């Protein structure tokens, strides 16, 4: 009997497990870091996801601003499988063309406001690791103080936690790497007061995604650049969530005209293949030396070709422009509906926060999920919207209607 026949002659395959069955196994198999999963997904294609019970969803979260090209994009798939079948991994004793090409492209994005500025990249596997590299790099300036922002989120390693503002995340793990102070986000005067010649770096998210898509505007970034220049401190922009076209430009900070000393990327860079990058410019690009830092997987050629494929498709399909146009459409349609619970829409491009007048974002997101739409609520009164950049106008309009339908209708629901 051929292998194929043996397989087909085997006893009837068990019915695919249900979400309930998978969720029960999840509880036993995985640490309880994230609470119970809201759904168990088994397939994705374009902007759609399917759960283990066969229900279809439209994904307006994209794995938290990750799947810029949606699910199972053919260009990413071809790049990853092609590279994996050619050369999957070599370690950082060696180099690969893909890693070098991706570093050059990211450096180009970071120095676009001052072309010709030297820039170099350290590749990591996640946002927190990209920030960890940046944190270590700042220590090599000979200074140790870091000024971070109230409301910030930079990841979960000890270094990234030290510059993350949320006390609940920090306190169980203290003492954290020290010498970090926090200033109100968007307050240039407070920042000017906090920075002196002992500060190694100021770290800022151009838009605070985890804090509910809070956008301080370009002028704050420009002020931070002036202040850091005046005191010889590094300006470090965390573009992990906002970069790679999410906000309508390669960097959310692009429009500020500023060139930062350090920029960190992850999330959208690999479309779901894990990769992070710490890009440094000018003198900051020369701070890390052999022995200072390292990684086994970072810069792996498979991750690097995923990044190159993402960049190629964003350019080919003009997705930066699409991100701006569709994000504005979403905000305009949402506001035009005049729903009494919708106070405004924050953010840029396709990173948006629908701000509500009551703490009903969590319940609304649950109802959206029931109706087949994936979004999330980073704050009690904010729905975060971060769909793949390949969404259509019809998807946007459908989502706006779904939110309007999912919002509580009467005062009784809002309490
Ligand atoms: C601005 C920012 N920085 C860093 C991180 C951490 O990235 P990761 O979860 O890939 O470690 C995140 C994740 O949400 C983020 O939004």
Residues with Cβ within 8 Å of residue 381, at least 6 apart in sequence: 212, 355, 356, 357, 358, 359, 360, 361
| CA angle (30, 381, 268) in 5-degree steps | 55
Q: Is 165 in the pocket of ligand 1 (CB under 6 A)?
A: no
Same domain for 229 and 128, yes or no, is yes
Same domain for 94 and 190, yes or no, is yes
In a domain, 72, yes or no: no
Average pLDDT over residues 219-239: 98
Atom 4, ligand 1: residue with shortest CA distance: 154
Same domain for 149 and 269, yes or no, is yes
Average pLDDT over residues 380-385: 98
Domain boundary among 282, 316, 350: 316
How many percent of the chain have pLDDT more than 70? 95
Q: How confident is the model at residue 15 (pLDDT cuts 50, 70, 90)?
A: low
Would you state the pLDDT for residue 178? 86
Same domain for 57 and 95, yes or no, is no
Q: Is 128 in the pocket of ligand 1 (CB under 6 A)?
A: yes
The domain spanning residue 39 has which CATH number?
Answer: 3.90.1150.10
Same domain for 352 and 291, yes or no, is no
Domain of residue 196: give its range: 78-316
In a domain, 73, yes or no: no
Domain boundary among 266, 300, 316: 316
User: pLDDT (tens digit, 9 = 90+) per residue, 274-297?
Assistant: 999 999 999 999 999 999 999 999
The domain spanning residue 143 has which CATH number?
Answer: 3.40.640.10
Same domain for 53 and 152, yes or no, is no
Same domain for 22 and 121, yes or no, is no
Q: How many CB atoms lie within 10 A of CB 124?
A: 27
Would you state the pLDDT for residue 212? 98
> How many structural domains compose the chain?
2
Q: How confident is the model at residue 16 (pLDDT cuts 50, 70, 90)?
A: confident
- The whole-angstrom separation of Cα 353 and Cα 40 is 25
Q: Looking at the predicted structure, is the pLDDT value of residue 12 above 90?
A: no
Same domain for 312 and 376, yes or no, is no
Quote the mean pLDDT of the chain: 95
In a domain, 23, yes or no: yes
User: pLDDT (tens digit, 9 = 90+) per residue, 77-105?
Assistant: 999 999 999 999 999 999 999 999 999 99
Same domain for 310 and 325, yes or no, is no
Q: Is 242 in the pocket of ligand 1 (CB under 6 A)?
A: no
Same domain for 83 and 60, yes or no, is no
Q: Looking at the predicted structure, is the pLDDT value of residue 308 above 90?
A: yes
User: pLDDT (tens digit, 9 = 90+) per residue, 50-70?
Assistant: 999 999 999 999 999 999 999
- The whole-angstrom separation of Cα 296 and Cα 279 is 18
Return the ligand 1 atom nearest residue 241 CA.
Answer: 16
Q: Is 266 in the pocket of ligand 1 (CB under 6 A)?
A: yes
Would you state the pLDDT for residue 9? 45
Average pLDDT over residues 334-359: 98
Alpha carbon of 344 to ligand 1 centroid (Å): 25
Q: Is 239 in the pocket of ligand 1 (CB under 6 A)?
A: no
Return the ligand 1 atom nearest residue 131 CA.
Answer: 4
Atom 16, ligand 1: residue with shortest CA distance: 241
Greater confidence (70 vs 3) lies with 70
Q: Both tokens of residue 369? A: 């999920």
How many percent of the chain have pLDDT more than 90? 94
Q: Looking at the predicted structure, is the pLDDT value of residue 10 above 60?
A: no
Q: How confident is the model at residue 13 (pLDDT cuts 50, 70, 90)?
A: low
Domain boundary among 263, 289, 316: 316
């Amino acid at each position: 009997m051929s292998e194929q026949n043996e397989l087909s002659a085997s006893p009837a395959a068990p019915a695919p497990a249900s979400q309930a069955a998978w969720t029960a196994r999840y509880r036993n198999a995985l640490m309880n870091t994230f609470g119970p999963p809201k759904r168990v997904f088994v397939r994705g294609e374009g902007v759609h996801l399917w759960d283990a019970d066969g229900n279809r969803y439209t994904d307006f979260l994209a794995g938290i601003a990750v799947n810029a090209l949606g699910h199972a994009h053919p260009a990413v798939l071809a790049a990853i499988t092609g590279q994996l079948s050619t050369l999957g991994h070599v370690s950082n004793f060696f180099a690969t063309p893909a890693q070098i090409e991706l570093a050059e492209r990211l450096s180009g994005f970071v120095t676009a406001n001052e072309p010709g500025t030297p820039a170099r990249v350290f590749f990591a596997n996640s946002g927190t690791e990209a920030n960890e590299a940046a944190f270590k790099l700042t220590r090599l300036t000979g200074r140790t103080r870091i000024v971070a922002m109230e409301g910030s989120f930079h990841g979960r390693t000890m270094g990234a936690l030290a510059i993350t503002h949320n006390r609940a995340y920090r306190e169980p793990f203290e003492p954290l790497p020290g010498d970090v102070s926090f200033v109100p986000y968007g307050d240039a005067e407070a920042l000017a007061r906090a920075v002196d010649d002992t500060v190694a770096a100021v770290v800022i998210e151009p838009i605070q995604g985890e804090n509910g898509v809070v956008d301080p505007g370009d002028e704050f970034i420009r002020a931070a650049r002036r202040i850091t220049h005046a005191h010889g401190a590094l300006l470090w922009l965390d573009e992990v969530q906002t970069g790679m076209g999410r906000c309508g430009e390669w960097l959310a900070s692009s429009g500020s005209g500023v060139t930062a000393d350090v920029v960190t990327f992850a999330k959208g860079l690999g479309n779901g293949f894990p990769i992070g990058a710490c890009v440094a410019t000018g003198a900051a690009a020369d701070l890390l030396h052999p022995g200072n830092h390292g990684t086994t997987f970072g810069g792996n050629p498979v991750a690097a070709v995923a990044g190159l494929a993402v960049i190629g498709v964003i350019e080919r399909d003009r997705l930066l422009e699409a991100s701006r146009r569709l994000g504005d459409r979403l905000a305009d349609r949402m506001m035009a509906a005049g729903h009494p619970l919708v106070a405004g829409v924050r953010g840029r491009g396709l990173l948006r926060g629908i701000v509500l007048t009551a703490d009903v974002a969590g319940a609304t997101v649950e109802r959206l999920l029931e109706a087949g739409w994936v979004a999330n609520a980073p704050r009690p009164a904010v729905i975060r919207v971060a769909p793949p950049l390949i969404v259509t106008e019809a998807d946007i309009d459908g989502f706006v209607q779904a939110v309007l339908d999912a919002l509580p209708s009467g005062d009784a629901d809002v309490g």
